[in-house]
Structure 1
Amino acid sequence: MRKYLEIIKVFIKTQLAWRGDAVIQILFTLTKILFACLLWGTIFKDRDKVAGFTINSMLSYYVISSFLNQMDMSSRVSGEISQRIRNGTFSKYMVLPVNIQGYFIAMEIGIVIFYLSLDIITSIIWIFAFRIRFVFASDPAVLVGAVVLILLGLFFMAQLNYYLGLLTLKYEDIGTFLMIKDNLVAFVTGSLIPLVLLPQGFVTVMKAFPFYYVTYLPSMLLIGRLKGELGMGLLVLACWCVILQAVIYATWNNYRIKYDGVGI
């Protein structure tokens, strides 16, 4: 455990060294919230509610979903693994006295911890700047459940990106897989628009897949909606984490023998 804590500390320090990346992440979050304010401000100009949302609950949803979306920094995991495998330096992870997947999860935790405080500050600034009457759940049980769901969602996304990175052991270029994943996740997690605005049949199908529970459901829970879906959300997402972990294990054992890179 101490080894992974050291990895977390190293990556927190790494983010401090690359402060320009932090500025870009903040500006990206601000831009997304600004766009949401302008768009929904126009839509709500002539109406009080849209799909059960008021202007304040809709903007609260966007602030929370943007915050959760920015917390997921695992995309760089797949890029890092792919690059290392292709240039033959993935061996450095194979000789470390830690589990490879554990290393990358610790890396993700270190990066998330660093950006967490920045994202909180950014969200608070926009709440006051746009005078949003922030809507937030008051039930402690729901808040705890939402936090657990968020953590499971971050773990699942780290698993997914780790798995996609490992595919480089089989395929020369995983760019297509990453492009499909990025566009699919942006839509089906509800980070672009709340899924409640989509056809009910589509939403029902999405409930069988993990992405529904990564950003959308936690955001809805934190604004006091969909409380009845918390238990099912925890169960479904936990099952998907177990399934994906089994797939990762099988993929690694099958493909690692194909790796012939040298050097560290």
Structure 2
Amino acid sequence: MTSAYLDFIRIRFLMMLAYRVNYYSGIVIYAINIGAYYFLWLAIYGSQESLAGFTVPQMTTYIAVSWMARAFYFNNLDREIANEIRDGSVSVQLIRPYSYLLVKMMQGFGEGLFRFMLFMIPGLAIVCLLFPVKLPTDPVVWLVYLVMLFFSFLINSQINILTGLFAFFVENNEGMMRMKRVMVDLFSGVVVPIAFFPGWLSGIMQWLPFQAITYLPSSVFTGRTPIGEAAGVFGLQTFWFLLLLVPIGLTWRAARKRLFVQGG
């Protein structure tokens, strides 16, 4: 059974590989986004060397690695699940001898591997040539960050799966999916690092899983958070990964009771 789940990773990777040309333009778009934010933050910093604990080199690196990390963990699992629920094809998935939700996670990981190898890595290399990004030289930092990046994918995918499952309960969850995407980008720290949020909002963010997707891992990568404190970040990511299993399980259980299929 384990090999069957691995096949879903391989199949999704090969499927993405067939349309790899579409992602070359994505590298250009992400590079433009990074450039726009880079010059914006340069104007904000002005003559100041540091803001909210970020130096200019740290902010430049944070912007680059955060956007390229998004290229890895981003997926449309919520939309895939919602479409399969609306057209009824989810019923076929449920009678097959595997876990539907685990299959979706494996498919998302297959897409993530493709994005990591053919989007994130070459994209980061190009950005480093265009902007003064300072990558860490300590291999331990790289290793720790890659582990955290994997958990970023898991947490983001869990949020996507949970959002997609709400299609069982509403006729159209398009608005919910759009709102979720904005919330993830904003509250995870991709658009603005959470350190720049007002104190009351920053306090609320500590009780939500979004910071564990981008802000905390990128802070470790840039050196804003010392590598000695990385265990705390990893612990928080693990906590949110385990906690999100609860609402997903409850929602999936309730959703299966609502499913009915007409026709023969």
Give the alignment's TM-score, normalised by structure 1: 0.90
Structure 2 Cα separation of the partners of residues 109 and 151 of structure 1: 9
Q: Report the residue type matching 1:62 in the other structure.
A: I
Structure 2 Cα separation of the partners of residues 70 and 32 of structure 1: 12
Structure 1 Cα separation of the partners of residues 151 and 262 of structure 2: 35
Q: Report the residue type matching 2:126 in the other structure.
A: I
1:215 to partner: Cα distance: 0.2
Report what 2:209 is aligned to: 210
Report what 1:34 is aligned to: 35
Query: Which structure 2 residues correspond to residues 1-264 of structure 1 after superposition, within 5 A?
Result: 1-74=2-75, 76-117=76-117, 118-130=119-131, 132-136=132-136, 138=138, 140=140, 142-227=141-226, 229-261=229-261
Closer, same or farther: CA 263–145 of 1 in aligned 2, 3 Å: farther
Q: Report the residue type matching 1:214 in the other structure.
A: I
Q: Report the residue type matching 1:231 in the other structure.
A: A
Structure 1 Cα separation of the partners of residues 263 and 225 of structure 2: 51
Q: Is the Cα contact below 8 Å between 1:78 and 1:163 reproduced in 2?
A: yes
Structure 1 Cα separation of the partners of residues 152 and 122 of structure 2: 22
Q: Is the Cα contact below 8 Å between 2:61 and 2:135 reproduced in 1?
A: yes
Structure 2 Cα separation of the partners of residues 9 and 100 of structure 1: 17
Q: Report the residue type matching 1:78 in the other structure.
A: D
Percent of residue pairs identical:
23
Moved more, 38-47 or 216-225: 38-47
1:167 to partner: Cα distance: 1.2
1:20 to partner: Cα distance: 4.2
1:11 to partner: Cα distance: 0.8
Per the alignment, in what secondary structure is the counterpart of residue 8 of structure 2? helix
Aligned residues: 261
1:143 to partner: Cα distance: 4.2
1:133 to partner: Cα distance: 4.6
Q: Is the Cα contact below 8 Å between 1:9 and 1:110 reproduced in 2?
A: yes
| CA root-mean-square deviation | 2.2
Structure 1 Cα separation of the partners of residues 30 and 185 of structure 2: 14
The unaligned stretches of length 5 or more in structure 1 are none
1:219 to partner: Cα distance: 0.4
1:31 to partner: Cα distance: 1.9
Structure 1 Cα separation of the partners of residues 167 and 202 of structure 2: 33
Closer, same or farther: CA 198–263 of 1 in aligned 2, 3 Å: same
Give the alignment's TM-score, normalised by structure 2: 0.90
Structure 2 Cα separation of the partners of residues 95 and 14 of structure 1: 24
1:69 to partner: Cα distance: 1.2
Structure 1 Cα separation of the partners of residues 262 and 10 of structure 2: 28
Closer, same or farther: CA 126–246 of 1 in aligned 2, 3 Å: same
Structure 2 Cα separation of the partners of residues 52 and 236 of structure 1: 21
Structure 2 Cα separation of the partners of residues 263 and 66 of structure 1: 46
Moved more, 247-256 or 220-229: 220-229
Structure 2 Cα separation of the partners of residues 253 and 46 of structure 1: 56
Q: Is the Cα contact below 8 Å between 1:92 and 1:263 reproduced in 2?
A: no
The unaligned stretches of length 5 or more in structure 2 are none
1:201 to partner: Cα distance: 3.6
1:60 to partner: Cα distance: 0.5
Render the CA deviation track for 1:120-158: whole Å, top value 9, x for unaligned.
11111111123x151426372x54443332222211111
